[in-house]
Structure 1
Amino acid sequence: MSSEVTTYHQRVAREKRALIVTAATALFLELGYDRTSLARIAERSGVSRATLFKQFPSKAALFDAIVTESWSTTDEDDPPPAGNVVDGLTAIGRRYAALLSRPQMTDLFRIVIAELPRFPELADAQFSQGKMPYFESVRSYLRAEHEAGTVRVEDVDLAATQFLGMISNYVFWPRLLVPGWAVSAERVADVVDEAVRTVVARYAATGPGVSTND
């Protein structure tokens, strides 16, 4: 099989996967996780049942894919190198705000919240496969800055929670709960900058080689 044919089939498979994930997300929101069948998802997405089952053998696998897609980032979004805590936290904060602003992120949380009493495993999947890997990347960055001597952070879990919480509490949670809530790009930038300043004021070390751009 030629590389052109292989590339074509891979592209078609990705397109069908995207259609399936989009249809499943919409149906989970409309009907609930329990009442949504794979057959109904196949019909809504316009793919055959065989195609759907080939990619997702179960609803659980399909929900896992929704979690993964909602929290996915590019290779360029890896934690920045340690050495300048202001630049590093600003990059991380802007990426996090952009991640939370995705429509599929709001959809994911709404599904989890609605189905939590009956399907706690959905919350487990969202936490272990989505939020925690991202949270770990922020912890790793703060730990690297601590080891580089730019900050003094004894509890990286707490520091990461504080930083991300300052952003999500303004950018994400009101949008999830308040109809019509919207935050301008300029306001998001202000929120991130203020979160960075707060963390730097609390944790930045002083001395030669510390770059905080104050």
Structure 2
Amino acid sequence: MTAPQRLTDRKRDAIIQAAIVEFRANGFDITSMDKIAATAGVSKRTVYNHFPSKEELFAEILNQLWTRVTAELDTSYRPELSLREQMRRMLMAKVQMIGDENFLDLARVAIAATIHSQERAQDMIARMGKREEGLTVWIRAAQADGRLKPVDPEFAAQQVQGMLKSFAFWPQISMGQPSLSPEMQTTVVESALDMFLACYQL
């Protein structure tokens, strides 16, 4: 029973990877389920068994993208540790995750497919908002502990993540720049920490 299940999972993964390749190469609208099936090396029926429509397949790619964002690390607040130490761990994990080539591939597909569809763009933004709440919760906890100023936690979280993305995500997505070196990742994170803590730490 387990072997066929593994084969099914392998086929599903092959379909998703083929869809990413095709969406990146040709865009969402031009890519057909026939082409995805051919690239995956499976029958069209197999593709439809896993994903009833191209929209469902795209939704699964978005889901994988956000799953990676969510899995960054444990963002629970630790009163016994310095704010800088806690934030450094979270921001380093974030920068490494958004700079990963597989993640960037998924993000390029998602962004390209949403540019021409307001509905898809709204769905993507809604998912992104839900997935990035870990840092917001952490900031709120640090405020409750009397260690950060009473700024809107969501605003502050978005602000610090924007600092990371301006170096480690958008140049790679929009201009094809290479991912940051580990040294540059550290520089970007430490600089973002300096600015955030100078602005909000009590």
Q: How does the TM-score come out when normalised to structure 2?
A: 0.86
The one-letter code of the counterpart of 2:132 is F
Aligned with residue 104 of structure 2, among 90, 103, 106: 106
Is 1:69 the counterpart of 2:60? The answer is no
Mapped partners of 1:147, 1:9: distance in 2: 51
- Deviation of residue 171 (structure 1)? 0.8
- Deviation of residue 44 (structure 1)? 0.8
Change (3 A) 1:112 1:68: closer
Aligned with residue 166 of structure 1, among 163, 168, 190: 163
**Which residue pairs with 1:56 in the alignment?**
51
Counterparts of 1:1-214 in structure 2, within 5 Å, are: 5-6=1-2, 8-73=3-68, 77-83=73-79, 84=81, 85-129=83-127, 131-205=128-202
Alpha-carbon contact 2:96-2:185 (below 8 Å) kept: no
Structure 1 residues not aligned, in runs of 5+:
206-214
Identity of aligned residues (%): 29
Alpha-carbon contact 1:63-1:122 (below 8 Å) kept: no
The one-letter code of the counterpart of 2:145 is A
Mapped partners of 1:167, 1:13: distance in 2: 38
Give the paired residue count: 199
Per-residue CA deviation, residues 109-168 of structure 1 (Å, 9 max, x unaligned), is 433444445322232232222x21232122111112212222223211210111101111
Mapped partners of 2:72, 2:93: distance in 1: 10
Per-residue CA deviation, residues 8-30 of structure 1 (Å, 9 max, x unaligned), is 34433332222111110111121
Change (3 A) 1:75 1:118: closer
Mapped partners of 2:71, 2:154: distance in 1: 23
Alpha-carbon contact 1:80-1:91 (below 8 Å) kept: no
Mapped partners of 1:63, 1:31: distance in 2: 14
Change (3 A) 1:148 1:114: same
Query: Following superposition, which runs of at least 4 residues in structure 1 exceed 4 angstroms of deviation?
Result: none
Mapped partners of 1:53, 1:11: distance in 2: 18
Structure 2 residues not aligned, in runs of 5+:
none
